[in-house]
Amino acid sequence: MRHDFFDRYSRQDTLVHRASAAVKLIAALALIALILVAPITAVDFFVALGLTLVVIALVARIPWRYICGRLIWLEPFVLGVAALSLLQPGGLWVFLTIVVKSTFCLVTMVLLANTTPFAELLSVVRRAGVPALLVTTLALLYRYLFVLVDEAQRMHRARRARTFHRGRVGVWRDLGMIIGQLFVRSTERAERIYAAMLARGWK
Amino acid sequence: MHIPDGFIDVKTAVGTAVLAATGAGLALRQAQRELPPRKVPLLGVAAAFIFAAQMLNFPVAGGTSGHLIGGVLAAVLLGPAAAVVVMTAVLVVQTFLFQDGGVSALGANVFNMAIVAPVAGYALYRLVRPAIGLVAAAAFAGWCSTVVASLSCAGQLAVSGTVAWNVVIPAMAGIHMLIGLGEGVITALVLVAIGKTRPELLDQPDAPVGTLVPVGLVVALGLALFVSPFASSWPDGLEKVAEHLGFDTKAAETPMVPAPIPDYEVPGIGSPAVATALAGGIGTVVVFGLSWLLARMLVPKKPA
């Protein structure tokens, strides 16, 4: 599986990528705050915002097809929850506001994730005073996420290769087994990582 | 249950952010106190484990599938404080890298899924474990944690004026009473699997009850703020709540689309709050029995 589908373009070398991570993080958060407080009738603002995002994407050389792909993947969640807001008086207006605003916020975040390596974001939040334990946990999560996803997929494939068709109950039992085994392997991996960290002078 | 950007208003975003920061901060300090240094990498790898486990889809009827959320599983395996840290890390990465859940709703999402689910779930797990055993207690707590977290989420959407109370609470509670069944079963299956290969991993020392109190207070406060307005509006009219919170003006006089359920009422029961509470109560009793049955099926009998 391709493991970098969510931040594939974060390690390019463009003007936007070279900008400081702190600036990009603050700018993205400020932009989202603006989007959320702006009234939906402020069409000028949303047009200007859209143009700004397009320019950033162009300068950072992030393909529009990629951004659209991410949106198509993410939009169903937005529409699903937003649909509930139709069930009230004046709901259509609420629905439109939510969908427009969250789409702009999604694009902003897709751009942030694809112009800033996660490690740089972590060092910004560490300097901002986020506790070290949480930052270490985040860093290890990012590092080992797809190692474990791969491990789970290998176990799943190995199981399927050795088993004829199983009923639904069997599939659930197998998946439960796989997740359980994944936890066992995770604890063993964590012990090896600790030994390796000590060997490299961590304290 | 991940709330995207734009679904909650400023007061809810700020309120939930404060609650989430307080709860996660307390849990971090506690985890730092009680975890030996050699367990520090385990938190990160366990967070990756929860994330990876969430990506495995379990087939449900008709081509749909469900997946684990993992709050109770993490709490049972690592203890409640570590579970809050792990789940918070998962949500932060989901927000910033996967755009799953909004930045402005990060506080709300962390509160619901990283604090309410593991802490309330763990408290229930400890409460019922002496009576029905580890596996059944974890299954029951897994179901309850999903339902309570979804109620908290629904309350935040309603307080924000995004969705009407009488629609969102029954809808979210109803859907998650079903989704929670999957959560309970998967949690039980995983614990049974771990028990078969490395039973010592399940023999973690229990967190002292006293250490649950500070985070527990944060959970109680949040639920009081976001869920109780719904229940307390009984008997006459949610409009009072709307008026009180100031979002009644948003309900325009001429609705653009007629509400399909203008006065949501279950026959014979006067208020959606009462109906929801009643359904929840019955559901809880049924699931408690089911958890016990599930554990009877899964856990091999010990030789006498």
In this complex, is the C-beta atom of B297 within 8 Å of any C-beta atom belonging to chain A? no
Q: Can you give the pLDDT at residue B241?
A: 46
Q: Indicate the domain borders of chain A.
A: 15-124, 131-199
Distance from CA of B304 to the nearest CA of A (A): 26
The verdict on a CB contact (< 8 Å) between A183 and B260 is no
Model confidence at B242: pLDDT above 50: no
Residues B116-138 have pLDDT tens digits of: 999 999 999 999 999 988 999 99
The verdict on a CB contact (< 8 Å) between B103 and A90 is no
Of A146-150, A154-158, A190-194, B252-256, the one with minimum mean pLDDT is: B252-256
Distance in angstroms (rounded) separating the CA atoms of residues B292 and B277: 23
Structure token digits, residue A181: 């085994």
The verdict on a CB contact (< 8 Å) between A177 and B189 is yes
> Would you report the helix, strand and coil content of chain B in percent, each value rounded to 5?
75, 0, 25
Instruction: Provide, as residue numbers in chain B, all residues whose Cβ is less than 8 Å from the Cβ of A181.
Output: 193, 197
Distance in angstroms (rounded) separating the CA atoms of residues A180 and A164: 22
Element spanning B66, H or E: strand B65-66
In this complex, is the C-beta atom of B144 within 8 Å of any C-beta atom belonging to chain A? no
Q: Which residue from A7, A99, A190 is facing B97, i.e. has the nearest CB?
A: A7
In this complex, is the C-beta atom of B202 within 8 Å of any C-beta atom belonging to chain A? no
Model confidence at B188: pLDDT above 70: yes
Instruction: Provide, as residue numbers in chain B, all residues whose Cβ is less than 8 Å from the Cβ of A138.
Output: 44, 47, 89, 92-93
ipTM, interface predicted TM-score of the complex? 0.91
Distance in angstroms (rounded) separating the CA atoms of residues A131 and A139: 13
- Highest mean pLDDT out of B81-90, B94-103, B199-208, B275-284: B81-90
Q: Can you give the pLDDT at residue B164?
A: 83
Q: Is B58 helix (H, G, I), strand (E, B) or coil?
A: strand
Instruction: Provide, as residue numbers in chain A, all residues whose Cβ is less than 8 Å from the Cβ of B255.
Output: 88-91
Q: Residue B19 is which amino acid? A: L
Q: Which residue from A112, A134, A171 is facing B89, i.e. has the nearest CB?
A: A134
Distance from CA of A188 to the nearest CA of B (A): 9
Total beta-carbon pairs less than 8 A apart between chain A and chain B: 248
Model confidence at B280: pLDDT above 60: yes
Q: Can you give the pLDDT at residue B232?
A: 61
Distance in angstroms (rounded) separating the CA atoms of residues B158 and B169: 8
CA geometry: angle at B133 spanning B119 and B115, to 5°? Answer: 5
The verdict on a CB contact (< 8 Å) between B6 and A101 is yes
Of A78-82, B164-168, B182-186, B243-247, the one with minimum mean pLDDT is: B243-247
The verdict on a CB contact (< 8 Å) between B194 and A183 is yes
Q: Best interface-test mutation with A: which of B1, B5, B100 has the largest number of A CBs within 10 A?
A: B5
Distance in angstroms (rounded) separating the CA atoms of residues A42 and A104: 14
Q: What is the pTM of this model?
A: 0.87
The verdict on a CB contact (< 8 Å) between A133 and B32 is yes
Residues A167-179 have pLDDT tens digits of: 778 888 888 999 9
The verdict on a CB contact (< 8 Å) between A37 and B10 is yes
Model confidence at B259: pLDDT above 50: no
Model confidence at B189: pLDDT above 90: yes
Query: In this structure, what DSSP letter does residue B114 have?
Result: I
Distance from CA of B124 to the nearest CA of A (A): 22
Domains belonging to chain B, first-starting first, are 10-247+267-298 (1.10.1760.20)
CA nearest to A140 within chain B: B44
Q: Can you give the pLDDT at residue B252?
A: 41
Model confidence at B251: pLDDT above 60: no
CA nearest to A118 within chain B: B97
Q: Can you give the pLDDT at residue B62?
A: 67
Q: Which residue from B93, B193, B260 is facing A142, i.e. has the nearest CB?
A: B93
Model confidence at B267: pLDDT above 80: no
Selected residues 86-105 of chain B with any CB under 8 Å from a CB in chain A: 86, 88-90, 92-93, 95-100, 102-104
Model confidence at B264: pLDDT above 60: no
Q: How many CA atoms lie within 13 A of A56 on its CB side?
A: 25
